Amino acid sequence: MTLAPHEHLEDHDRIPGTAPVDKARTRRPRNTPPWWFALPALLLFGFVVLVPSARGVYYAFTDWDGLDPHFSFVGLGNFADMFSDADAKQAIWHTLLIAVSITVVQNALGLALALGVNTAIKSRNVLRVFLFAPAVITPIVTAYLWRNLLGPEGAVNSLLGAVGLDGWRQDWLGSPRLALWAVVGVIVWQFAGYSMVIFLAGLQSVPKEIHEAAAMDGAGPARRFWSVTRPLLAPAFTINLMLSIIGGIKLFDQVYALTGGGPGHATDTISTLIYKDAFTLGEFGYSIALAVVLTIIVAVASTGQYLVLARNERAAS
């Protein structure tokens, strides 16, 4: 009797006079690598990330100035000072306002651009390149570029004057009323193309047959988008909204390069306030407490948003 290599004889089927088959020896080897292969990477991650993070959380409960090896444990004093500090409360409000504004405007504009370049126009490939190009520029370079463009004698005001709109000339980055929205505008200008690419990938994955069937049923363009395309874009929405909200909450370099948190504290975010308190005022313990609060805000916002979007994504599928 001939057996395939993967077949084994049971004891009651064994040919008389032959030795019993050792099932353990004939079992296929497991392909899962030993867990200790990851041990060097885990040790490095713990040394570089976990240990400094734990020490940072400890310093948040002290009055450490960043230099003196002697410091005192103050408990929740730094956190209590934070919630009585008008600058800190204003920075938290600015951070949330910037994050929400960027998330809404950037993704709405990115979706509109994706719908535009997903058509059959001949220049769609060139437009995709030009619209995505700002996203590959270093954010600090973009910020310095726009700081010159939005200056009192910059190109934006010069252009407004040249077309007879002198009344629209503003000190865009020097006005407490406009500076925060100028920062939002710069960030949206740079990263709307990034959101566009993610939405475009989602649009191109939607089968054309579905659109054709909806059109045959009498659905117009708006109805087809809302009832057919939008549910199938749920994964793209999840990615874009997560990236936007987390990036907006952690925002630092563009704000610091454009306004330095000014005028006054009109554009201060938690990140810029952390930098000022630590490296200008020497209040490292207080600044680390702010960083802990920022971490909590990012964790809560990203986790809550992910749970909501993931539930909507499962419902759409």
Instruction: Quick: pLDDT tens for 257-279.
Output: 999 998 989 999 999 999 999 99
The reply to whether 120 falls in a domain is yes
The reply to whether 178 falls in a domain is yes
Find out whether 88 and 297 touch, Cβ atoms under 8 Å: no
Above 70 in pLDDT, residue 1?
Answer: no
Query: Considering only CA atoms, which of 28, 186, 195 is closest in space to residue 109?
Result: 195
- What's the pLDDT at 220? 84
pLDDT band at 3 (very low <50, low <70, confident <90, very high): very low
The reply to whether 62 falls in a domain is no
Find out whether 278 and 60 touch, Cβ atoms under 8 Å: no
Rounded to whole angstroms, how far apart are CA atoms 100 and 76?
29
**For a pLDDT cut of 70, what percent of the chain falls above it?**
88
The reply to whether 272 falls in a domain is yes
Instruction: Quick: pLDDT tens for 290-312.
Output: 999 999 999 998 888 888 877 87
Contacts of 198 (CB under 8 A, 6+ apart): 110, 236, 239, 240
Range of the domain at 312: 82-316
Output DSSP code: residue 206. S
The reply to whether 233 falls in a domain is yes
Encoded tokens for 247: 């990036």
The residue count of the chain comes to 317
Find out whether 106 and 191 touch, Cβ atoms under 8 Å: yes
The reply to whether 188 falls in a domain is yes
Encoded tokens for 148: 């010159």
Instruction: Quick: pLDDT tens for 62-76.
Output: 998 888 888 899 989
Q: What are phi and psi of 219, to 5 degrees?
A: -75, 130
- pTM, 2 dp: 0.81
The reply to whether 23 falls in a domain is no
Q: What is the CATH number of the domain that holds 131?
A: 1.10.3720.10
Rounded to whole angstroms, how far apart are CA atoms 85 and 77?
12
**For a pLDDT cut of 90, what percent of the chain falls above it?**
53
Contacts of 46 (CB under 8 A, 6+ apart): none
Most confident of 19-23, 189-193, 302-306: 189-193
Domains of the chain: total: 1
The reply to whether 20 falls in a domain is no
Above 60 in pLDDT, residue 246?
Answer: yes
Strand partners, 96: none
Find out whether 231 and 121 touch, Cβ atoms under 8 Å: no
Rounded to whole angstroms, how far apart are CA atoms 44 and 74?
31
Rounded to whole angstroms, how far apart are CA atoms 191 and 52?
31
Query: Considering only CA atoms, which of 107, 87, 134 is closest in space to residue 254?
Result: 134
Rounded to whole angstroms, how far apart are CA atoms 261 and 238?
30
Above 60 in pLDDT, residue 48?
Answer: yes
For the chain, where are the alpha helices, taking DSSP H only? Answer: 23-26, 39-45, 51-59, 77-82, 86-117, 124-132, 139-149, 155-162, 179-204, 208-216, 221-224, 230-232, 234-249, 253-258, 270-279, 284-316
Greatest CA separation found in the chain? 107
Encoded tokens for 262: 């000014």
Encoded tokens for 234: 């749920």
